Chains A and B, each alone.
Chain A
Amino acid sequence: MRVLILRTAGINCDAEMVTAWQLAGAETDLRHINELTGPDATIRLDDYGILAIPGGFAYGDDLGAGKLLANELIYRLKESFGRFVESGRPVLGVCNGFQVLAKAGLFGPVTLLPNASGHFECRWVGLQNTGNASLFMQGIEKLYLPVAHGEGRVVLGSETELPPEQIALRYADPEGDTEKGYPWNPNGSVGNIAGVTNKSGTVLGLMPHPERFVSNWQHPHWTRLPKTTGEGDGLKIFRNAVQYAAS
């Protein structure tokens, strides 16, 4: 299974995302968007089974996080991007990647604004799956992952509600309560929404970083836990996508 990991100026979580996909058994190809566009482009999106957009600050978050790269997906990749999504092949956007997918309109009236706290925040959060049955969330009830962002506050358009089945993950306290405020909900997202899928469940965008918890040693207090060589929570998401795409 070949995963295209897309980067551009300011994307900076690409290396650890490559590691995560590889641990999940995928073959990875990390490419700059300029290699996919223009008349001489040698790389074609159609040749891949999965598309992943890592975190970072594409174009410095100028004009709103994700906006400029979202426009490049729409105006520079053109039909090939739409075709990829339509074909039902998995698309994953983490953090900045989520912001890109949201601003490209893949989730409907969903956008991300600066955190309610007014500042960037890096911390580990509890996450609960409250009924999302997408390919990514198979067998996942809850996760423990780090967030690190300044613009992760999920906001919905005023006229519409997001169907609950499109909500992939919600921020939760250690007891699984998904109505808790800061710091459990680190950014003030409406409904504690941490991640969403598109209607068909083939596109997942989430603010927390599953690629930063693929090994036991990335856990924030592994020195307190019994010694293991286990893997981290985040790997499940990558495994699910690889299994789905391969089947």
Chain B
Amino acid sequence: MNMLYCVELLPRVADLPPVVSERLWADAAAFFDTAPRNFERHALYLLEFEESAEPEKVRQAAQRAAESLLSDSVTQTYRGGPVEEYFSELGRENAAALIVAAYRPGVTDAEGESTRQGYAVLSEAGDEQNLPALVRVRTATLYRLDFEILPPAPTLNRFARRFLVNELVQDCITLLPKEGDERLAAFAQAQFNFGSKATGTVRTVALREAGNEELAQISKEGLLALNPEEMAAIQTYYQNEDRDPTDIELETLAQTWSEHCVHKTFKALIDYSEQNAEGETTTRLEIDGLFKTYIADPTYKLNKPWIVSAFVDNAGVIRLDPAWDVSFKVETHNHPSALEPFGGANTGLGGVIRDVMAVSAKPIAATDVFCFGDPATLPESIPADVLPPARVFQGVVDGVRDYGNKMGLPTVNGAILFDRGFLANPLVFCGTVGLAPHGSHPRNQAVGDRIVVIGGRTGRDGIHGATFSSIELGGDALETETAEATGGKAASVVQIGNPIEEKKTLDLLLKARDRRLYNAITDCGAGGLSSAVGEMGADLGVRMELSRVPLKYAGLDPWEIWVSEAQERMVLAISPDKLPEFMELCQVEGVEATDLGEFTGDGLLSLFYNDQPVGQLKMQFLHNGLPRRHLTATWQDRAPRPIKRRAHYEHHRPYQGYNVVLQRILADPNIASKEAVIRVYDHEVQGGTVIKPLVGPGHDGPGDAAIIQPLPGSTKGLVISNGINPRYSLLDPYHMAACAIDEAVRNAIAVGANLDRMALLDNFCWGNPNDPARLGELVRAALACRDFALAFGLPYISGKDSLNNEFRDPTTGERTAIPGTLLISALGVIDDFTKAVTMDLKAEGNLLYIAGRTRPELGASYYAKYHGQVEGEVPKVEAGSALRTFRAVTKAIRQGLVRSCHDLSEGGLAVAAAEMAFAGGLGLRYDLTRVPYIGPKSDRTNATLLFSETPSRFLLEVEPARRAEFEAAMAGSVVALVGTVLADDEYTVRGLTTATVLRVRSSELKRAWQTPLI
């Protein structure tokens, strides 16, 4: 029996009661229909000492730990005791309800591990008695919840499970007053009764003789996510090998062949056909892979000399200057974030940071884009097992905050969108920009090199993440997961991050890179070691001993070690003569590093456990044996229907009407201020954020793009921006994609970027690609990616896809897919960031210009949304005029002729102008009659000019003295003087019939825009 001791921290200062957050207090009041009398939160530490320790020594040691390590001597005191004693005492004395919450056994507990290390520092100091060894520490939280009339235990329990824990990774126990029993101590003890199962078991799967149904069953039961053709290919391989596969071999194939790892859909041969609104087939195409045809080929065709690496590495890499490269990668982590928002988003960012580390770069900026369900969704409309949007939002934001801030990575740009289509399938895009000396990233693994894993330990966390992301949510997956919360397969797909482990690994890697200690590097992402080692050794062959992999706890089977997606691990190829120096460096940086085997040159993946062979596969089959998918895609053109205005709206006098519409659009959570989120991210760390996400004198205006100064003392700048608008997908994914590209570019151009040094990333999130209509939409979006990359001369350097973002309602069986969503992220290099501009109006009397023509494009606009519709003409990018406008704006900004610049996007001219005014704390007057327009005369209305979302447009502020120079710089593009900056707090718009159609205080518009998101 171990010696388990519990320490509880108590407040010393009376005016700092340990009450829970206001939000939690409010949640409790709403849930119980009455405010709690008291609701406190106390930290508990469960300390497991070595078995041989004497009870008196343990008591002294725990006291010493509590005094010098766990408590803050200024504000806290503590109490504690052996675990049974402490909990029975707690049970006896309590007057309120008690809830103890803890991580489930086996789930990473970073603070517990820090405590153990902190204790080691105390005991090594050895200035007093010899302290007994502390084996493990687990943290827990004790809530005391009290009411006038205490609700029954089941109600309290429901509350706890809904608001205090996420059952996937945590568990809790509820006790009523004076209900002293042994359950609490048993609950605490259970934390340590984990991971004792015997190991080394290898199963052989009878595959050779299996019929089609059995093959399907093997794939389904093993969560392998392999289709009949793929299973058949595997069967043929083993028939030729004249043996059956081991479990680890099948897992290796499933991981390596997963949608997540090889992008089967984007490589598939596709038969595509388009029909017009009349039902006639207008186009037939045989597409030789979406990725190759529409993403890679245009990039190669553009042949930009400054691209260092596109598509082949973990991140895209371009030149910054002769000495430095910058890398950029955006990834999604959608499925895990749907189940456990904090952990999913946390490890999503952690993973993309490792992608940049895997090109030997230092991460220097982050960008994050999230899509959530409509926050106004009624609780009864939320399917069982789906988390409410507010909870997903909070968890995701907290998860990204935690990882990004702790990594010291400035989060400089992003977007947050809400749409009911994302209710069950939220999207979490995390991006990271990295910096490395040119030529410092080696890709030279060689025969004889050692395979070294560094960073975090391996546990059962995140097993099957890669294959799970190919399975839609709902039904079985969720049932399995609640039924077998810790041992169950779906449950283990959730990962828990430890950013400090990753930060240590980063510190180590940069040093190792500069000393040229490794020959190749990759990260352990989806598929864990199986993907990382399998890929690194694809051309060589690998011999690896799995029993050497450092584990968080005993009891993992070899295949679990091999595919675990435990976080914060990287794999390196190190030549034997460099290994000692590398290991020494690991010692200083406190990073665990383990030699697992070698690259062989025999073309085989050979896996051993305790020197016994557990699996062997030909690399050739593993990497080239996957049968190509052949899919069908269709697109049915829809004739646009006109937007109808709300009936009641006709009764308003015009300017009151537009005032209401504008304020409602500004308050739409998709457009409203994201300041509350931006401020919980450290956007200043590293000291290089020269154009920040919040701009203007009050630091609260919505900047278009961020600029990072990557090298102190140099005027080189990196412009980072995003474009995304899934609403347009409801009408036509082609134009959705075109507009996403235009928006990312526009945002970058608006701060001073130029098209000649800009690269794009594409991230597709879609539904089930086996549905021809769904795939047809994806093809439309990909077509636009090709067309506009070529038109604007913009290469893609990296991209990802996340498919099967569908939810099947377990009760009705109904399937819902997300709106097809493309995120385009742009990375621009500028030579002189000191010429950059921001979007806040600068001074009274300056002139306001609009660049680009407005067309009547209100389809899927926010004006249409205000009227409860999506119909209408979808906004389209007209490449020729867009290009002229982009180049002219870049030129005018570079010549120092522009005081502020803002792009027109969601909400059109009215919203962009309002944002410029209130961001600058100034007023504005402009005239719709002067806005350049193209389209049917009958559609030229005030509403069109105010709210049309035609892309490729900008508003620019120019000093009157620079008017002629500005107009000369803009020559060749469409630009018109439309208004003037005012000192007063006034926003006035003159309409087409010369009457004022909108007059409102700009501060009032700001108030509407600052409506809290949730």
Contact = CB atoms under 8 A, between A and B. Distances in A.
Decide if A and B are genuine partners: yes
Interface of A: 7-10, 12-13, 15-16, 19, 32, 34-35, 55-57, 59-64, 67-68, 71-72, 75-76, 78, 103, 105, 109-111, 113, 118-124, 146, 148, 150, 155-158, 209, 211-212, 214-215, 217-218, 220-224, 227
Contacts of A122: 678-684
Interface in B680-735: 680-692, 694-697, 699, 709, 712
Given A10-B406, A13-B408, 17 more contacts: A8-B590, A9-B504, A9-B589, A15-B686, A32-B588, A32-B589, A57-B405, A60-B114, A61-B406, A62-B118, A68-B69, A75-B127, A113-B72, A118-B21, A118-B22, A158-B14, A217-B690
Contacts of A75: 121-122, 124-125, 127
B697 A212 contact: no
A223 B695 contact: yes
Contact of B503 (A12, A109, A209): A12
Nearest to B920: A224
Contact of A155 (B75, B686, B900): B75
A76 B14 CA distance: 34
A12 B678 CA distance: 19
B679 A34 contact: no
B463 interface: no
A209 B408 CA distance: 14
16 contacts: A10-B500, A32-B588, A55-B685, A62-B114, A75-B121, A111-B73, A122-B678, A122-B679, A122-B684, A123-B679, A124-B699, A155-B75, A217-B834, A223-B837, A223-B840, A223-B900
Given A12-B408, A148-B682, A63 B111 contact: yes
A96 B16 CA distance: 22
Contacts of A35: 588
A105 B74 CA distance: 10
Contacts of B74: 109-111, 155-157
B804 interface: no
B401 interface: yes
Contacts of B111: 60, 62-63
A63 B687 contact: no
Nearest to B503: A10
A60 B403 CA distance: 10
A71 B119 CA distance: 10
Interface in B86-119: 110-111, 114-115, 117-118
A221 B680 contact: no
A10 B506 CA distance: 10
A60 B498 contact: yes
A44 to B, nearest CB: 16
Contact size range, B: 35 or more
A217 B900 CA distance: 17
- Please indicate which of the listed interface residues A16, A121, A211 has the most CB atoms of chain B within 10 Å of its own CB: A16
Contact of A62 (B115, B122, B125): B115
Q: What 6 pairs across the A-B complex have the smallest Cβ distances?
A: A12-B408, A16-B687, A62-B114, A75-B125, A111-B74, A60-B500
Nearest to A103: B72
Interface string B485-511: 000000000000011100110010000
Consensus secondary structure, chain A interface = mixed
B815 interface: no
A221 B697 contact: yes
Given A12-B408, A12-B685, A122-B684, A64 B690 contact: no
A183 to B, nearest CB: 9
A61 B218 CA distance: 45
B823 interface: no
A71 B687 contact: no
A105 B121 CA distance: 17
Contact of A71 (B21, B121, B507, B588): B121
A123 B21 CA distance: 22
B833 interface: yes
Contacts of B833: 217
A224 B697 contact: yes
A71 B692 contact: no
B434 to A, nearest CB: 14
Given A60-B111, A118-B22, A155-B75, A214 B687 contact: yes
B838 interface: yes
A158 B503 contact: no
Nearest to A227: B834
Nearest to A113: B75
A223 B692 contact: no
Interface string B397-411: 000010001111000
Contact of B696 (A12, A123, A221): A221
Nearest to A65: B72
Contacts of A32: 507, 588-589
- Please indicate which of the listed interface residues A35, A62, A78, A156 has the most CB atoms of chain B within 10 Å of its own CB: A62
A55 B410 CA distance: 13
A9 B12 contact: no
Contacts of B696: 221, 224
A226 B682 CA distance: 27
Given A120-B401, A223-B838, A64 B72 contact: yes
Contact of B69 (A71, A113, A212): A71
A161 B691 CA distance: 41
A56 B408 contact: yes
- Please indicate which of the listed interface residues A8, A55, A218, A224 has the most CB atoms of chain B within 10 Å of its own CB: A224
Contacts of A214: 687
Contact of B684 (A8, A10, A212): A212
- Please indicate which of the listed interface residues B587, B590, B685, B690 has the most CB atoms of chain A within 10 Å of its own CB: B685
A146 to B, nearest CB: 5
Given A75-B122, A224-B840, A57 B500 contact: yes
B427 to A, nearest CB: 24
Contacts of B401: 120
Contacts of B681: 120, 122
Contacts of A63: 69-70, 111, 114-115, 118
